[in-house]
Amino acid sequence: MVGRIIRGHGLDGAIRIRSHSDNPTRFQAGSELTIAGQIRTVVWYRDLPDGDALLRLEGLDDPHVARRLADEWILAPIDSTPELPPGEYYHYQLVGLTVITDQGENLGQVREVLETGSNDVYVAVSDTGTEVLLPAIEQVVKEIDLASGTMLVHLIDGLR
């Protein structure tokens, strides 16, 4: 899920969206997105000062149809995601990883990535519903192994 439609915008079928993508080229003209089960091509995209954006999609030119898409999720194919440098990860790669402490304790799985001003925070939730907030800093996150589906962490004082 790379974004969510907030509402239709204007009379030409444009939509106002909230991006959840950390890929800066995700919505460029020519990109393909899936909305409500239909693949659509981006015609144009414009950031708004409040953090939302306007998006115009090929074949969507009816404002009534655009309004009915409110609250729909915007999906993008995984193969359209560019490679990141070593040590950097997309949020979708981290959600679902099993979090293990350097003491061998299983903290559960990463359920969400919170973006803060200084660093991301990983929300690990155990089977019992216990939540641990893990700042994405090198003192805490020691290793991420996508192949094994695990994240090794060191719990510094104050994290529990």
One domain for residues 15 and 76: yes
One domain for residues 111 and 147: yes
One domain for residues 122 and 56: no
Q: List pLDDT tens digits, range 140-157.
A: 999 999 999 999 999 998
In the chain, the number of structural domains is 2
Q: List pLDDT tens digits, range 19-56.
A: 888 777 889 999 999 999 899 999 999 999 998 999 99
Residue 19 domain boundaries: 3-80
One domain for residues 98 and 58: no
Q: Using CA atoms, how far apart are residues 130 and 156, in angstroms rounded to an integer?
A: 17
One domain for residues 140 and 99: yes
Q: List pLDDT tens digits, range 62-111.
A: 999 999 999 999 998 877 677 788 888 888 789 899 999 999 999 999 99
Handedness of CA 132, 147, 22, 12 (dihedral sign): negative
